[in-house]
Amino acid sequence: MNKFLIFVLLSYITRSPLLILVIMLLVLFLTERRFVGILPDIFEPWRRAKRISQLKKDIAINPANADSYLELGEAYFRQGKYEKALSFLENASGKMEGHPLFHFLLGASYYNSGRIKQGKEELEKAIRANPKASLGEPYLYMIRIYLEEKQPDENIEQVFGQLLLYGTPRIFYQAGRLLSAANDKERARRLFAETIESYNACRGALRRVNRRWAFLSGIYLKLGA
């Protein structure tokens, strides 16, 4: 009844069924993002673009601001624009030696740009600087590199153990997909199960943030990873 009254009220205000549909879908999306968190955030690219614009202004005012170069490099990295990320990260290299996030972003950007050896070296620097760097994401890349290099299983197991120790539900899920694609079903299932277990241990806003990865992991487990 309440939904019908809302529909009638919107019809009277907008006099456009299409606009009503758009408004209702937007409300449903915002509600889902606020209380559930399974759907991706469609506003994230807009927020990132706005932040990139601001960072470029900051650099124009202060070209020596290494922190702005680092954040700008990360923003482009998260967009999948790895060459652009490198152009800003390399500008920060003089002041960022030993910074775990810097070495991770530089290494991951090198890797995704096809410069595997340089990428591996920087990822190893990130891990040496702080084993907890970037919430376990360097280990995800190291597993990928080890699989490509056909490293002995004991080497993969060592990195796998570190990922389990320092990772987050998102990293567990992504590593599970990687290992599932590599036909390492046992480790993949363990990671999907770990994703769900970690999610169940979350409280408050973290449950909403990680619910998507637990949901997707449950699907993979049901499908046999």
Residue pLDDT, tens place only, 1-45:
455 555 555 555 556 566 556 655 665 555 555 555 556 666 788
Q: How far apart are CA 81 and CA 74, in angstroms?
A: 10
Query: What confidence score (pLDDT) does residue 1 get?
Result: 46
Q: How far apart are CA 132 and CA 163, in angstroms?
A: 9
192-202 pLDDT, tens digit per residue, is: 999 999 999 99
The CA distances from residue 60 to 54, 63, 69, in Å, are: 10, 6, 11
Q: How far apart are CA 82 and CA 80, in angstroms?
A: 6
Overall pTM surpassing 0.85 (yes/no): no
CB 93 within 8 A of CB 106: yes
CB 123 within 8 A of CB 143: no
Average confidence score pLDDT of the chain: 87
82-137 pLDDT, tens digit per residue, is: 999 999 999 998 899 999 999 999 999 999 999 999 999 999 999 999 999 999 99
Contacts (Cβ under 8 Å, ≥6 apart) of 155: 146
Does residue 157 carry a pLDDT above 90?
yes
Query: What confidence score (pLDDT) does residue 5 get?
Result: 55
- Residue, of 7 and 148, whose pLDDT is higher: 148
- Residue, of 33 and 51, whose pLDDT is higher: 51
Half-sphere exposure of 2 (CA within 13 A, CB side): 0
158-210 pLDDT, tens digit per residue, is: 999 999 999 999 999 999 999 999 999 999 999 999 999 999 999 888 888 89
